[in-house]
Amino acid sequence: MAPTSNPDQRDLFRGALEMMILQSLRRQPMHGYALVQHIKQRSDELLQVEEGSLYPALQRMLKDNLVKAQWETSASNRRVRTYRITPAGIKHLEREVSSFEQMLKGIHLVLAPAES
Amino acid sequence: MNWLRQLFTRRQIYNDLSEEIRQHLAEKVEALIAEGMSCQDAEYAAKREFGNIARIEESGHQPWMWPRAESILADIRFAFRKLRHSPGFALTAILTLAFGIGANVVVFSVLNGILLRPIDVPQPGNLFQIAHGENGGDSQSYPDYRDLRDRNQSFTGLLAYKVLSVGITLEKSVSQTWGIAASGNYFDVLGLQPALGRFFHASDEHGLGSAPYIVLSYDFWRRQFAGNPGVIGSTVLLSQHPFTILGIAREDFHGTDYFFSPDYWIPVVNAEQVTGWDDFCCRDHGGFILLGRLKPGVAPQLSTENLNTIARQMAKENLKDEGLTLSVRRPGPAGDTHDPMRNALFGITLLAVLVLLAACANLAGIFAARAADRSSELAIRLAIGSSRWMVARQLLAEAVLLSLIGGIVGTFLARLLLGALAHWRAGDFPTRFLIAPDARVYLVAIALSILSGILFAILPARQVWSIDVIQAIKSGYVFAGSFRRFAVRDVLLILQIVVCTLLVTASLVSVRGMMRLLHVPLGMEPRGVTFAEVDLKTAGVPDAQSRLVQRRLLDAAATLPGVTSAATSDNLPFMNGCCWSVYPGTTTQFVPSRVAFSSNVYLVSPGYLQLAGTRLVSGRNFTADDKPGSPAVAIVNETFARQLSGTTTRAIGGHYAMWDKARYEIVGVVEDGKYNSLGEDPQPAMFLAYAQGIGEFIVSSQIYVLVRSHLPQDQITRSLHHVLSQIVTTAPIPVLAWNDAIDRSMMLTRAAATVLGVMGLMAALLAVTGLFGMASYSVSKRMKEQGIRIALGAQRFQVMRSTLSRPILILLGGSCIGLLGGVLAAGVLAHLISFASTRDPLVLAGVVLTMMLLGLVATWVPARRALHIDPAGLLRDS
């Protein structure tokens, strides 16, 4: 997730961060900091997420109405902005995941040693 | 509307993001402290792991922005700031553009109202007019109309109408009104519905005088009946004949003419009652306008062919239709390529566009100079990474902003002027100029504004493209190419001078034309003559008594104290004219091919020619003996005599005829005069004895009673009106000085001269500022160089020559081209002004003098500056 000036070329590959965020939010609504921690833990710290890069992605998804945000008070009595996935977000996630899997499968097939 | 909401909630969104990031960092710091870090270390670590906050916030904003739109907005904001810092420049530019665009909006509105806007009826697209062949007139006779209506295969409906002016009696008082006599199908062919009551239809007509109905215009109804709906079914008197009010036309219907807005409509079968004029008898009684709806899919061309086939049949059946050719064209001036108004309008439009072009050229020069002065600022912007396009776009934004403000101000001024014009009325004639700007005009105004903005920004934008950043940042840099032998700015200035010379030529020509008009021999002496207009038909005087009433009116006027002489005539030069076809005396067949020429006709009392001051060249004047029963005699003017017999000397005793029973012997020849306009070519005119009438017809219904008196104007006006209104009580009697009537006929010429004068003045002002700008810029930019030259011993005069030679050369070159163009454009000018001649030495001298004066004014100040360069001070400063 190297910072670039070009918003189109945003992370590992187009949409990967969004997928991870949406998947995380699908399990349960959470705020930005929690999201970062969650992704770090789930990826066994393999993915080095520059914490801030999450926020532009969240803004994009807010704009596209894939997630909703609301100011709440957390369990630790902190004012946090909690994100929830919307029905449109769920649909988007499913579409993205399936197309990602297709791609992964294709790459796998190409990379696999020839069977003969 | 989502995006609109977004625009207003955006600040909140940004605040949320910032707050969210702050909270994130706080939470992170807390977590790190909990892991055992020191407070300061934790803060550093949190920020490190988070990344560049400013950049992240920025890219978080991006989804909510429109980068292009917002950078343009920023450009505009910057342009505003820039202009606020140089209010003098901004004001000059805005005013220049306001006048340039305003002039164009006015001219285009008029053009739009008269030539482009369709008539206000449903489906105006298939409404066409039947006119005479190639360049013939519009008017047709009613019998011809009936044949065309019944025989043609290309129109779904064909209507005819003519304008009438009669007296209407409302609550015992009579006023002169203008209406329309229309064929019964008029409203049905136009496809109109009444606002109130009903219209008349073809089914209402059952022969002559069978349909005494009247439909009022909305305005007339409001004006005369205070919009009372109860008037439907009541009667009004037209020329003392009762007409039943059938209905009221809608507010937006003003007839199908462009200038004339009728007060009412009556069926043509009842027109004779009120005008005394038989429309149905003769195929040479023209006066009707024919409009029709073309069948779907029929082209005007095809329809023209169809009509001409019918016209050939009609010519075989009726001698009077011999040589009749017809053409189908768009109604009004728009369809008539020979209409002088149309050509004049196009001419004036061209001039207005030229003025705007000159204004743009002028501003381009000033703007380029400004950009040159800002070269180091622009260069710095380029140096720190702005693209050339962005810098040019900034200049463009400034220019378009200026021109839009100018356009708005100009359109506002134009609206004021147009509003005044639209309410202008010529006497009692119900004119209506539908020239209020509509959507099309506003669109043109906006397009003109933006276009002129772009036009005058092109030059500085070009400079940005060729800017050399390294050189420009150094002080004292001058744009490359600014002082080449031949720069774009010079071309613009030349163009401006050319336009200016053209317009100055045009306005001088028009002024000269006006001067000559005022001194043109009138063939009469109108000063001191006052006349009253009495309409006997309106007054309800039966034809048989008209001679008697005329006699009484004349006697009453002649015995007024202070009156030296009195006379009557049925028509008056400059008031209205009646043209009759003249045939040679030997003619037996009165068909169009035998017509010698057509002539103005005046039926006068014996003393008329003396009173009018028209000089008798040979022969005798009318006497009391020229009465019914004695030989019919005529006095003609020299042009008439020349056209009839080839000479003025042998004309006396000659004969001519107007139809079988109207044959005349010429007993006198008078000098030529002007009859309809001051600028007209010599026209034939005949004077007949009122007592003898024309053939079997007695006279027309109008009588002008003229008196010559030395009394003050208002006194004679009052006493003449008083004495005549005791004789004729049932008609309005307007009284006017003859000179005023002639003045009124010059209105169009005067308007044209004013328009040209104003445009000439504007162009001259623009040229002065353009030249001044160029000269002073060239002086100030070369100040240092000139200082050195003076220090090295150059004469003041040499310095001045080297700085001012360019503007002067441009002025000379531009003037020469403009003058040449003006001479070549004399044809266009001739449409606008009578006596337009650009070859007039006085005009040529005037143009040269004006341009020289302009040059002097424009270069005076810069020249003084060049003369007073102080080399020592200058060299010390730098």
Q: Which residue is closest to B25 within chain A, CA to CA?
A: A33
Residues 55-114 of A with CB under 8 A from B: 55-56, 58-60, 62-64, 69, 71, 78-81
Chain A residues in contact with B52 (beta carbon < 8 A): 3, 52
Q: Are B63 and A59 in contact (CB under 8 A)?
A: yes
Q: What single-letter amino acid sits at B764?
A: A
Q: What is the pLDDT of residue B183?
A: 94
Q: Which residue is closest to B16 within chain A, CA to CA?
A: A81
Residues ≥6 apart with Cβ < 8 Å to B504: B760, B763, B764, B818, B847, B850, B851
How far is it, in rounded angstroms, from Cα B186 to Cα B253?
Answer: 13
Chain A residues in contact with B64 (beta carbon < 8 A): 59, 63
Give residue B621's pLDDT band: very low, low, confident or very high (50, 70, 90): very high
Q: Which of A36, A50, A78 minimises the CB distance to B23?
A: A78
How far is it, in rounded angstroms, from Cα A28 to Cα B73?
Answer: 42
Lowest mean pLDDT among B116-120, B349-353, B547-551, B693-697: B693-697
Q: Which residue is closest to B58 within chain A, CA to CA?
A: A56
Residues of B contacting chain A (CB within 8 angstroms): 13, 16-17, 19-21, 23-24, 26-28, 49-53, 55-57, 59-64
Q: How distant, in Å, are the alpha carbons of A11, B454, B777, B793, B866 from that of B789?
A: 67, 40, 18, 6, 12
Please determine, for residue A63, whether its predicted confidence score (pLDDT) is greater than 80: yes
3-class SS of residue B56: helix
CA B249 to chain centre: 28
Stated pTM of the model: 0.69
Q: Are B759 and B503 in contact (CB under 8 A)?
A: yes
Chain B residues in contact with A31 (beta carbon < 8 A): 20, 23
Please determine, for residue B61, whether its predicted confidence score (pLDDT) is greater than 90: no
- Closest by alpha carbon to B659, among B710, B718, B583? B583
Q: What is the pLDDT of residue B3?
A: 62
Contact: B61, A59; criterion CB under 8 Å: yes
How far is it, in rounded angstroms, from Cα B841 to Cα B303?
Answer: 51
How far is it, in rounded angstroms, from Cα A36 to Cα A31?
Answer: 9
Residues ≥6 apart with Cβ < 8 Å to A2: none
Q: Phi and psi of B625, rounded to 5°?
A: -80, -15
pLDDT digits (tens, 9 = 90+) for B23-41: 999 988 998 999 888 999 9
Provide the 8-state DSSP code for A49: -
Please determine, for residue B393, whether its predicted confidence score (pLDDT) is greater than 90: no
Q: Are B673 and B507 in contact (CB under 8 A)?
A: no
pLDDT digits (tens, 9 = 90+) for B290-305: 999 999 988 888 998 9
Q: Tell me the mean pLDDT in the region B203-224.
A: 91
Give residue B684's pLDDT band: very low, low, confident or very high (50, 70, 90): very high
ipTM field? 0.84
Q: What is the pLDDT of residue B839?
A: 72
Q: What is the pLDDT of residue B481?
A: 46
Q: Which residue is closest to B6 within chain A, CA to CA?
A: A63
HEC string for B74-115: HHHHHHHHHHHHCHHHHHHHHHHHHHHHHHHHHHHHHHHHHH
How far is it, in rounded angstroms, from Cα B647 to Cα B645?
Answer: 5
Q: What is the pLDDT of residue B668?
A: 93
Please determine, for residue B713, whether its predicted confidence score (pLDDT) is greater than 80: yes
Contact: A60, B63; criterion CB under 8 Å: yes
Q: Which of A7, A50, A69 minimises the CB distance to B51?
A: A50
- The residue length of chain B stands at 878
Q: What is the pLDDT of residue A1?
A: 41
Chain B residues in contact with A32 (beta carbon < 8 A): 20, 23-24
Contact: A81, B52; criterion CB under 8 Å: no
Lowest mean pLDDT among B682-686, B741-745, B788-792, B825-829: B825-829
CATH numbers and ranges of domains, chain A: 16-111 (1.10.10.10)
Contact: B23, A63; criterion CB under 8 Å: no
Q: How distant, in Å, are the alpha carbons of B1, B174, B449 from that of B446?
A: 26, 49, 5
HEC string for B455-472: HHHHHHHHHHHCCCHHHH
Contact: B20, A81; criterion CB under 8 Å: yes
Q: What single-letter amino acid sits at B544?
A: A
Residues ≥6 apart with Cβ < 8 Å to B394: B75, B78, B79
Q: What is the pLDDT of residue B595?
A: 85
pLDDT, mean over chain B: 84
Give B387 to chain A, closest Cα distance, Å.
Answer: 17
Give A96 to chain B, closest Cα distance, Å.
Answer: 20
**Crossing angle of helices B340-373 and B388-422, rounded to 10°:** 150
Q: What is the pLDDT of residue A10?
A: 40
Q: What is the pLDDT of residue B216?
A: 94
Q: Identify how many contiguous H helices and E strands chain A contains and give both numbers.
A: 4, 3
Q: Are B779 and B865 in contact (CB under 8 A)?
A: yes
Q: Which of B24, B53, B57 minimises the CB distance to A33?
A: B24
Please determine, for residue B99, whether its predicted confidence score (pLDDT) is greater than 90: no
Which residue, among B59, B61, B64, would best test binding to A if mutated, counting the most A CBs under 10 Å from its CB? B59
Q: Which of B24, B49, B59 minimises the CB distance to A32?
A: B24
Q: What is the pLDDT of residue B103?
A: 86
Please determine, for residue A6, whether its predicted confidence score (pLDDT) is greater than 80: no
How far is it, in rounded angstroms, from Cα B48 to Cα B57?
Answer: 15
% of chain B at pLDDT higher than 70:
92
Which residue, among A51, A67, A77, would best test binding to B if mutated, counting the most B CBs under 10 Å from its CB? A51
Q: Which residue is closest to A81 within chain B, CA to CA?
A: B20
Q: Tell me the mean pLDDT in the region B385-401.
A: 85
Q: Which residue is closest to A57 within chain B, CA to CA?
A: B60
Which residue, among A10, A33, A38, A80, would best test binding to B if mutated, counting the most B CBs under 10 Å from its CB? A33
| The dihedral sign for the CA sequence B45, B48, B50, B55 | positive
Give residue B596's pLDDT band: very low, low, confident or very high (50, 70, 90): confident
Contacts across the A-B interface (CB distance below 8 Å): 68
CA dihedral B608, B610, B611, B613 (to 10 degrees): 120
Chain B residues in contact with A51 (beta carbon < 8 A): 24, 28, 49-51
Give residue B344's pLDDT band: very low, low, confident or very high (50, 70, 90): confident
pLDDT, mean over chain A: 81
- Closest by alpha carbon to B332, among B291, B364, B362? B291
Give residue B485's pLDDT band: very low, low, confident or very high (50, 70, 90): very low
Q: Which of B19, B57, B59 minimises the CB distance to A7?
A: B59
Give B40 to chain A, closest Cα distance, Å.
Answer: 19
Q: Phi and psi of B5, rounded to 5°?
A: -60, -40
Q: Which residue is closest to B46 within chain A, CA to CA?
A: A51
CA B339 to chain centre: 13
Task: Return the residue matching tokens 């769920």.
Answer: A90
Q: Which residue is closest to B10 within chain A, CA to CA?
A: A63
Q: What is the pLDDT of residue B479?
A: 52
Q: What is the pLDDT of residue B484?
A: 47
Chain B residues in contact with A33 (beta carbon < 8 A): 23-24, 27-28
% of chain A at pLDDT higher than 90:
30
Q: How distant, in Å, are the alpha carbons of B411, B489, B497, B761 from that of B347?
A: 21, 27, 19, 17
Residue B753 or residue B504, greater confidence: B504
Residue B857's CB is within 10 A of a number of other CB atoms, namely 14
Q: Tell me the mean pLDDT in the region B768-774.
A: 78
Q: Which of B21, B49, B64 minimises the CB distance to A55?
A: B21
Lowest mean pLDDT among A18-27, B285-294, B784-793, B832-841: B832-841
Which residue, among A59, A66, A71, A74, would best test binding to B if mutated, counting the most B CBs under 10 Å from its CB? A59
Q: Tell me the mean pLDDT in the region B826-848.
A: 72
Residues ≥6 apart with Cβ < 8 Å to B138: B129, B131, B132, B289, B336
Please determine, for residue B431, whether its predicted confidence score (pLDDT) is greater than 50: yes
Residues ≥6 apart with Cβ < 8 Å to A79: A71, A72, A73, B23
Chain B residues in contact with A78 (beta carbon < 8 A): 23, 26-27
pLDDT digits (tens, 9 = 90+) for B443-484: 988 998 888 888 888 877 877 777 777 776 665 555 544 444
**Residue B110 in tokens:** 């008029």
Contact: A52, B56; criterion CB under 8 Å: yes
Residue B55 or residue B184, greater confidence: B184
A29 has a chain B CB within 8 A of its CB: no
Q: Tell me the mean pLDDT in the region B786-814.
A: 83
The two beta strands, B685-689 and B633-637, are antiparallel
DSSP string across B116-181: ISPPSSSSGGGEEEEEESTT--S-B-HHHHHHHHHH-SSEEEEEEEEEEEEEEEETTEEEEEEEEE
Residues ≥6 apart with Cβ < 8 Å to B699: B546, B547, B550, B570, B603, B690, B693
Q: Are B854 and B771 in contact (CB under 8 A)?
A: yes
Q: How distant, in Å, are the alpha carbons of A63, A95, B364, B484 from that of A11?
A: 19, 19, 49, 54
Task: Return the residue matching tokens 């623009």.
Answer: B766
Contact: B27, A33; criterion CB under 8 Å: yes
Q: Which long-range contacts link B435-441 to residues 24+ away (Cβ below 8 Å)?
A: B435/B109, B435/B110, B435/B112, B435/B113, B435/B114, B436/B109, B436/B113, B437/B105, B437/B109, B437/B112, B437/B411, B438/B112, B438/B117, B440/B112, B440/B116, B441/B105, B441/B108, B441/B109, B441/B112
Please determine, for residue B559, whether its predicted confidence score (pLDDT) is greater than 50: yes
- Closest by alpha carbon to A82, among A72, A90, A91? A72
Q: Are B492 and B821 in contact (CB under 8 A)?
A: no
Q: Specify burial of residue B57 (Cβ count, 10 A radius: 0-12, 13-18, 19+).
A: middle
